[in-house]
Amino acid sequence: MPFWWPLIVLAFAYAICKFLLMLIPPNVPSIDVDASDVLAHGKDTEENSFIYIPPRGRSQQSDKKVQCYEPATMKYLGYFPALSPTEVEERVTLSRKAQKTWAQSSFKLRRQFLRILLKYIIEHQELICEVSSRDTGKTMVDASLGEIMTTCEKITWLLSEGERWLKPESRSSGRAMLHKVSRVEFHPLGVIGAIVPWNYPFHNIFNPMLAAVFSGNGIVIKVSEHASWSGCFYFRIIQAALAAVGAPENLVDVITGFAETGEALVSSVDKMIFVGSTAVGKMIMRNAAETLTPVTLELGGKDAFIICEDADVSHVAQVAVRGTLQSSGQNCAGAERFYVHKDIYTAFIGQVTKIVKSVSAGPPLTGRYDMGAICLQEHSEHLQSLVNDALDKGAEIAVRGSFGHLGEDAVDQYFPPTVLINVNHNMKIMKEEAFGPIMPIMQFSTDEEVIKLANDSRYALGCAVFSGSKHRAKQIASQIQCGVAAINDFASNYMCQSLPFGGVKDSGFGRFAGIEGLRACCLVKSVVEDRFWPLIKTKIPKPIQAISGSRKRI
């Protein structure tokens, strides 16, 4: 990969953030957040100065501690307590008490909270990205785009439009009720619960927190056991911003733990947001059913990436490789099935092969590699099993990327970017979510065929369609069963924070982000009142009064 590519991306993100900083009023205070214990170049204590070797084949859960380490180097970072169900209930109770006060706060105060956060994020974006990189193994470029830019976009959208969509909304009363005024009101639900994954630890915390707090709720967030170190640092930022506006203590909380901790959260809150695997999502639903707690589920993805014969092959190959393989398992957009028209199949593979040969994986903070480490322990073994299954069934490896200098203890945390050809839907790689840098490519002949192939999946989160004809691309995308579609682009939807995000089928239901996601944090109340009260009042007609009276006598 040309050395200037990440520099351009980082410069672009930096320029946008600086522009946003110019829009923040000068009276917005700065906050101090202690980061001395998370700086990569700071002094290491005796406690976390060694290489951590996680136990294989068994869970950490028996230890009652969440052990944290850098996937890229296996350097030990520390541990956090796995909270018991009783402790979780206590945290929710404290948040509920604080929420009753916060629910009466003005939108002006809530916007000030957002501006304080935005100012800190922009001024400390390198620190935020570095913490994310250390805890998950992602590159600084991936963190800049996925953590900083998306979060800043969410904040700016809430600042400009959030109050508008939470104010009472007038509705038609109909012809029979012309003397009535109808409206919909949006009230806080109480305490929102969120269980979030490891792939973008900063944004995954801030995304539900921003919507919940701006709509007047409290929120308790269980962070992934694979990203607790970063999550607890990011919580300090939220605490400092809340304190700066005089918000009640404990309005927002971040908790750590394993399955038991998450289960207790589901049964304690007024609304549950879960982002993660389909299997765990089903468990969340079962637990939520006991208390009829509403849930929003954003689950697995196996998005179709469709390339028609009239697309710009060179451009799309760059988008596919940069957006998919270089994510190194950190990709939340989920493009994992590639369908290329037979007329450009060979040319596309040639372009992809050329690019992938220049892609290398290595420790992300060195700044010399295109890809970082894989966050999950033993996940590389799972990825290789998917590749082996495809090879056994007739697929071929077109090209694999390379590794940089890896520490001996961290070799298992890396997986080479891999391009598979001659794949089909009998292979696991085309059916199961991989969440890694594997690019399986299948060819198609007609639009009807590729639509059928794209819909032949239990997952239905998103899709991307590339064609020289925008009309054709839109026609194909409109027939694919999914919640998110990008036309001649990839993963750009999430940068548009006015849009709802979510899927269907095994990818879940409900939406976060946008108007729909914001109002999903609310009790939606229908209200009807007299238009000309007290001049015109609703009275029971006399014939009905007579009927009612006769029934009483009977």
For residue 525, report the phi and psi dihedrals to the nearest 5 degrees. Answer: -120, 130
- DSSP annotation of 55 reads P
Which three-class secondary structure state does DSSP give residue 222? strand
- Which residues sit opposite 465 in a β-bridge? 306, 487
Residue at 369: amino acid letter: Y
Count of CB atoms within 10 A of residue 12's CB?
Answer: 13
Cα–Cα dist 132/324, whole Å: 19
β pairing state of 438-444 and 335-341:
parallel
Nearest of 497, 498, 457 to residue 481 by alpha carbon = 457
What are the Cα distances from residue 180, in Å, to 184, 255, 528? Answer: 14, 47, 7
Q: Count of residues for the chain?
A: 554
Catalytic annotation, pick one of 17, 129, 308, 332: 332
CB 483 within 8 A of CB 127: no
Q: Is 92 exposed, middle or buried (0-12, 13-18, 19+ CB in 10 A)?
A: buried
Cα–Cα dist 225/135, whole Å: 11
For the record, the structure tokens of 340 come out as: 């290329």
Long-range contacts of 36-42 (CB under 8 A, 24+ apart): 38/127, 38/131, 38/134, 38/229, 38/230, 38/233, 39/127, 39/130, 40/130, 40/134, 40/365
Q: Does 298 participate in catalysis according to the annotation?
A: yes
Count of CB atoms within 10 A of residue 49's CB?
Answer: 10
For residue 366, report the phi and psi dihedrals to the nearest 5 degrees. Answer: -75, -25
Catalytic annotation, pick one of 147, 298, 336, 433: 298
- Which residues sit opposite 466 in a β-bridge? 307
Cα–Cα dist 402/418, whole Å: 10
Q: Is the dihedral of CA 367, 370, 374, 378 positive or negative?
A: negative
Q: Before 201, cis peptide (omega within 30)?
A: no
Residues 6 or more apart whose CB falls under 8 angstroms from that of 493 comprise 462, 484, 485, 486, 499, 501
For the record, the structure tokens of 535 come out as: 């001049």
- E strand segments, 172-292: 180-188, 191-195, 218-222, 252-255, 271-275
Cα–Cα dist 271/262, whole Å: 13
Which three-class secondary structure state does DSSP give residue 528? strand
Q: Does 332 participate in catalysis according to the annotation?
A: yes
Nearest of 532, 529, 432, 444 to residue 170 by alpha carbon = 529
- Which residues sit opposite 304 in a β-bridge? 337, 463
CB 284 within 8 A of CB 222: no
CB 428 within 8 A of CB 382: no
What is the set of active-site residues?
Answer: 298, 332
